[in-house]
Structure 1
Amino acid sequence: MTLAQKTAQLVGLWAGARRDDNAAPMQDQLIADGMHVDEFAAHGLGQLTRHWGTTPIAVEAGTAELRRRQAALAERTGIRALVHEECLTGVLAWGATTYPTPLAWGAAFDPELTERLGRRIGDDLRALGVHQGLGPVLDVVRDARWGRVEECIAEDPFTVGVVGSAYVRGLESAGVVATLKHFAGYSGSRAGRNHAPVSVGPRELADVHLPPFERAIRAGARSVMNAYNDVDGVPAAGSADLLTGTLRDRWGFDGTVVADYFAVRFLETMHGVAADGEDAAVLALSAGIDVELPTGSDYLAPLVAAVESGRIDESLIDRALRRVLRQKLDLGLLGAAEPEGDPTVDLDSAANRALAREMADASIVLLQNDGVLPLDAGRTPRLAVVGPNADRFGAVFGCYSFVKHVLPRHPEVDPLIAAPTVAEALRGRWPGEVDVVEGCAVMDDDVSGIDAAVAAATAADVVVAVMGDDSGMFGRGTSGEGCDREDLSLPGVQEQLLHALVETGRPVVLVLLTGRPYALGAAADRCAAVVQAFFPGQEGGPAIVDALLGVTSPSGRLPVQMPRPGTPQPGSYLAPKLGSLTGVSSADPTPRHPFGHGLGYTTFVREGLSVAETRVAVDGVVEAEVTVRNAGDREGADVLQVYASDPAAQVVRPLRQLVAFRKVPLASGEAQTWRVSIPAAAFAFTGVAGHRIVEPGRIVLRVAADAADEGQAIEIDLIGDVQRVDVIADEPVWERRG
């Protein structure tokens, strides 16, 4: 292959699915006006960027266009392009089912369900001729003010790793390359600002940010995407230590590393560690980025110039090329063109919607309830449904949904999917009167609608107040990429509206549709019930109504703790002793609701915690048993949560950390006994010498309702010499015993 042919395989092209074949708007700097895609790809093409997720295009037309482009590439070079697409809330395509956000997957605490979700999304991607999905996001939530919290799974690295790995297995089982992002440390940005510098130490990076990626690579992920941030002054896109030393040399990863969009150029324009595009290309390729996305600004002419001038050896291009071609060979993209894509695929099938509903049901978290829920039309016949998210179509969608990511540029286009609002779903189910009043908008400071909302509340028996976020991109929303918050109060004048509603004396059920946890104040304390849903997708409205009416029993748990007003940020349940409430600081980090919190319409009793052996080798396995019983008169599902504490370690450790969880559905009165086998390596941490170790000594295991619950505790002793651990611990194995 010529040098031009080689570099052509290392770039993407963001041409979208435009009928005129012109470059997408963001590519104006890279392709002269009027340049044809075929001209850009004269020497070949590595990837087609977001063929489906750039503009609205029907399946039949999009499939025909994709086949034409791939056939032209095959005829010219014998190598077709790998097609990639976003897949955080489903396939980013016009009319495709929109599922709950990843934060809802975390709230569901159900890896098996998440794996089924990944498989279904993967099947639809392959039906569209897509080979690579840009997901899952494995950033561990560290600061709730960060706009991309909605794209994350949890604030706990174990939960992120287990649930994220399940999604990876689902995508990969469908033949789709899963892309782990953003590697690494992105969510640790200063003050929760997007792209901001990250100042974590090597131990926090190793014990919090990296483990989910290592676990997901073991689960079979074939691609990794770099993070935009720098870590202690070194941008991830130019970090050989991260992209080669950690990822490949230590973990043995042999897939491809792709650049987050424009990350190579950002080495010059945002980070200032490169003088120009050639500098940026040399730095990124040397560090280990194989493919420049979404475009070919720096890996084409600038990289060729660097080789010809002797600044970089061509062997580094060959290194990346081998990885790219090996993956294309596995995907069947070498040789004669095979028609890909099914022009008849139904992207919003009944099966898709059923799965979207199942995930929405499983992820709803009941935070508080004085007995008003489930709603009873016999006792409270008249409802007032109030709030900016009560009857707004976009309220249930995250920023990487087609509705929020693409359609704002096409306001005239029908979204092609149904997403009943909470108000619409209640109108269809409630036998009594339902008055709907907006009260205020999500973001602005207009209070003129509050009086009408108060009047409706006063005339009602129960008020359902639906509030929260409006997801968007780069400041065009209250949640989403680039929509970071200075504080965690509800946006706009929603707190004022909520205060006015509770002042009526009517029972208020607060329903939160958000992409992050908010710091609820005194008005929420006075609510009869509070329900949290993290952008539950197109089936979210009916799922919420079923939870309110008791058709389903809420079984979600908080994947992120919910702060109080004034709770210091950033915050995490993974706090050591001096990171929790102490007498040496007046700032109280105690959350309103802890990680793992969630109620239902029944009561669960966890009892009989025992271990097979109280002395376990540092390279052994802890076997614990516990019985969970549904002591109420309704069916429901509990989430068994097992936490570990290390009272005396060679470095500062969290007071407790989740090491196992299991969602357990139970009928009324039913009891189940479960055994969980937890490798001692699950208690590993990065020691003083900088290596991951299991240290002999006392470990306290606790089965609890959440991260703050005392629950049941039992002590074990790890025995033997300090054990160095080079591979992340296997996932715990759960076995039902009775």
Structure 2
Amino acid sequence: MGDAVGVAIDCVYKNTNEAVEARVNDLLPRMTLAEKIGQMTQIERRVATPEVITNLSIGSMLSACGSGPTKDASSSRDWAIMVDDFQKSALKSRLGIPLLYGIDAVHGNGSVYGATVFPHNVGLGAARDADLAQRIGIATAIEVRASGIHCTFAPCVAVCKDPRWGRCYESYSEDAEIVRQMTSIVTGLQGQPPHGYPTHYPFVAGRHSVIGCAKHFVGEGGTKEGKNEGNTEITDSELERVHMAPYLDCISKGVCMIMPSYSSWNGCKLHAHRDLLTNVLKHKLGFKGIVISDWKGLDRLSEPRGTNYRKSIEVAINAGIDMVMVPYEYQEFMENLLSLVESGEIAMSRIDDAVERILRVKFVAGLFEFPYTDTSLLLQVGCERHRELAREAVRKSLVLLKNGKGPNKPFLPLDRKAKKILVAGTHAHNLGFQCGGWTGKWQGLSGKITQGTTILEGIKEVVGQNGEVIFEEVPTTETLSQEDISYAIVAVGEQPYAETFGDNSELEIPFNGADIINSVAEKIPTLVILISGRPLVLEEWLLEKIDGLVAAWLPGSEGNGIVDLVFGDYDFHGKLPMTWFKKVHQLPMDFAANDNNAYDPLFPIGFGLNLCKSILVTERD
């Protein structure tokens, strides 16, 4: 017992009673250059071995979305065992510096089977409820920490100016002020800094909170024609006023990490942008946390990709990147970085700045004191309280765009006592389609990919008690000819996607969605539920045929939240977080532009009906 106390006294960095900066300043000089480079390296779990982690002093690991401990349906307990095993190897290193393990829990911990999957950001932007976002952050943090993981690469605070962008659903809104409001999720994830806590200093409340990462710095939502990893061509003042603004809020809330974008600003890639990463982010804005690269972000700094990797490392590290998401070729990265420091092409002061930031976040997050999983949290994964929160989020995110074909003739709420109804469409009974990308796998999946409730299952709970529910994805002529069907609910929309795979210049409803809607609406009064990560093309002739239209975005695992609204148990709350265009050629449309003639939407940003037919529209600047 006396020896343990002696170690704590002699080694300031091991003494929990010492201030964070004192512990950082004690540990940093003890480290060799190789150990510092190890701390700057983040590797994917598939290349990690106990020897690699221990001998190279690897500082961080991650799982790509879906890269878990078992091939299919890994539980939180499986994840916790895996991460703790990796942590044991890190603690065996010479200095015993714990691992920081990260994952893309961007709308709940979607890689884990049974975790609560919340609506994607575009839906939360429609809800415009900062308190709701914060509570979702709290629930997500608990479920992430239950799986042993310390960090989520979220939130995305991009301001999406063009729905053709494949990451549109990761943005809360095209309006920077709405995005700023939703940065409350940072406080949910990391906890609320106490009164008097240093401004702009990283903060994590404790073992039930998680390290957050604001991304992708900066301007990625404004690329030309919505191209993912494209070029944002705007002025300094517009970049600062629109795209930089949410980061100020995240930093003021103590966000621990910021991730640069793959994209470019006026031709310069953000991973190589020293002025923005160092002069602006670190110096002007005072960010004291970790600047972490995106997945293989350094590879993208040379064309063809990765052809001059050594030069890419030099440019990125000198620009201000502290931790590098390698994720596989860690030996090449570490050897090149060592060579660059020894040759003087990267200054030792730059390495020390990076490692100081990494250690600071690890101390703030309590990883030295509590490196292992708190298994008591396992009972909260996918619990009733979290699922009810997700259901509330679904209810608040839905936007009612049409209700009836004429004045004083509302179609909703639907009659729950109807004797026979038709449910149709590709998205009526597909949990994977509801959840979208970053769920189960990077690009998402189709089918019963996790625990949850589909729209059809929710409808059957309400109507099935009294009447008959017919379900056909594509209804037959025989079914549509039945004269005793009271009404139809048609759920159509997009297949799951992520990043560049979601870039879309057409934005038409996939799977012949418009044809399914038309065939049903020709015969039966029809409510359309659109499941999508963005506005899609809605021809006016088709709108005229249907009786009701709901934008449900990507609602996640709790499809019964949709049913709550359409049957009138709750009223509609959501307002469009982005402009709903008429034709793709109108894009990009800017609601804040001074030219009123150029803004001619199908539905303006802020539009939303409720069951009393009130129109809610935000005022334009």
TM-score tier, shorter chain, comes to: 0.7 to 0.9
Residue 139 of structure 2 aligns to a residue whose secondary structure is helix
CA distance 1:95–1:349, change in 2 (3 Å): same
Cα drift, residue 407 of structure 1: 6.2
For 1:400-411, what aligned pairs fall within 5 Å after superposition?
Answer: 400-402=438-440, 405=443
Question: In 1, Cα distance between the equivalents of 2:289 and 2:49?
Answer: 31
Question: In 2, Cα distance between the equivalents of 1:117 and 1:599?
Answer: 25
1:436 aligns with 2:471: yes
Match of 2:135 among 107, 116, 122: 116
Question: In 1, Cα distance between the equivalents of 2:377 and 2:513?
Answer: 44
Q: CA RMSD in A?
A: 2.4
Question: In 2, Cα distance between the equivalents of 1:567 and 1:507?
Answer: 31
Gaps of 5+ in 2: 1-30, 192-207, 405-409
Question: In 1, Cα distance between the equivalents of 2:477 and 2:503?
Answer: 30
Question: In 2, Cα distance between the equivalents of 1:217 and 1:329?
Answer: 18
Aligned length: 558
CA distance 1:103–1:514, change in 2 (3 Å): same
Cα drift, residue 590 of structure 1: 0.8
Q: Normalising to structure 1: TM-score of the pair?
A: 0.72
State the match for 1:7 in structure 2.
37
Q: Deviations over 1:4-25 (max 9, x none)?
A: 111000011101xxxxxx52xx
CA distance 1:401–1:267, change in 2 (3 Å): same
Contact 2:57 2:90 in 1 (8 A): yes
Residue 54 of structure 1 aligns to a residue whose secondary structure is coil
Cα drift, residue 294 of structure 1: 4.3
Match of 1:50 among 63, 72, 79: 63
Contact 2:399 2:609 in 1 (8 A): yes
Cα drift, residue 542 of structure 1: 1.2
CA distance 1:89–1:278, change in 2 (3 Å): same
Gaps of 5+ in 1: 16-21, 24-34, 440-448, 474-479, 582-587, 605-637, 644-655, 658-738
Amino acid at match of 1:307: V
Match of 1:375 among 396, 403, 414: 414
State the match for 1:469 in structure 2.
494
Residue 359 of structure 2 aligns to a residue whose secondary structure is helix
Amino acid at match of 1:86: D
CA distance 1:491–1:314, change in 2 (3 Å): same
Cα drift, residue 566 of structure 1: 4.8
Percent identical across equivalent pairs?
27
Amino acid at match of 2:324: E
1:552 aligns with 2:562: no
CA distance 1:548–1:603, change in 2 (3 Å): closer
Q: Deviations over 1:12-45 (max 9, x none)?
A: 1101xxxxxx52xxxxxxxxxxx73422551211
Q: Deviations over 1:639-665 (max 9, x none)?
A: 795x4xxxxxxxxxxxx34xxxxxxxx
Question: In 2, Cα distance between the equivalents of 1:299 and 1:209?
Answer: 31
CA distance 1:181–1:338, change in 2 (3 Å): closer
Q: Normalising to structure 2: TM-score of the pair?
A: 0.85
Contact 1:53 1:85 in 2 (8 A): no
Match of 1:79 among 64, 86, 97: 97
1:385 aligns with 2:423: yes
Question: In 1, Cα distance between the equivalents of 2:377 and 2:561?
Answer: 29
CA distance 1:556–1:41, change in 2 (3 Å): same
1:572 aligns with 2:590: yes
Match of 1:59 among 63, 76, 82: 76
State the match for 1:209 in structure 2.
243
CA distance 1:453–1:50, change in 2 (3 Å): farther
Question: In 2, Cα distance between the equivalents of 1:339 and 1:396?
Answer: 33
1:395 aligns with 2:433: yes
Q: Kindly indicate which of the two structures has a greater share of residues assigned to helix.
A: 2
State the match for 2:503 in structure 1.
484
Amino acid at match of 1:280: S
State the match for 1:175 in structure 2.
209
State the match for 1:280 in structure 2.
312
Cα drift, residue 405 of structure 1: 4.7
Question: In 1, Cα distance between the equivalents of 2:585 and 2:450?
Answer: 42
Question: In 1, Cα distance between the equivalents of 2:564 and 2:613?
Answer: 19
Residue 181 of structure 1 aligns to a residue whose secondary structure is strand
Question: In 1, Cα distance between the equivalents of 2:390 and 2:333?
Answer: 40
Cα drift, residue 66 of structure 1: 2.1
1:36 aligns with 2:42: no
CA distance 1:52–1:561, change in 2 (3 Å): closer
1:598 aligns with 2:598: no
1:317 aligns with 2:351: yes
For 1:303-342, what aligned pairs fall within 5 Å after superposition?
Answer: 303-334=337-368, 338-342=371-375
Cα drift, residue 567 of structure 1: 5.2
Question: In 2, Cα distance between the equivalents of 1:575 and 1:291?
Answer: 39
Amino acid at match of 2:414: L
Residue 76 of structure 1 aligns to a residue whose secondary structure is coil
Contact 1:135 1:180 in 2 (8 A): yes
CA distance 1:429–1:337, change in 2 (3 Å): closer
Q: Deviations over 1:588-615 (max 9, x none)?
A: 64111111111111266xxxxxxxxxxx
Question: In 2, Cα distance between the equivalents of 1:481 and 1:398?
Answer: 14
Amino acid at match of 1:47: S
Contact 2:52 2:58 in 1 (8 A): no
Residue 576 of structure 1 aligns to a residue whose secondary structure is coil
Question: In 1, Cα distance between the equivalents of 2:76 and 2:41?
Answer: 25
Question: In 1, Cα distance between the equivalents of 2:276 and 2:60?
Answer: 24
Amino acid at match of 1:351: R
Question: In 2, Cα distance between the equivalents of 1:545 and 1:470?
Answer: 21
Contact 1:74 1:337 in 2 (8 A): no
Contact 2:495 2:510 in 1 (8 A): no
Amino acid at match of 1:436: F
Amino acid at match of 1:233: G
State the match for 1:256 in structure 2.
290
State the match for 2:168 in structure 1.
149
Amino acid at match of 1:197: N
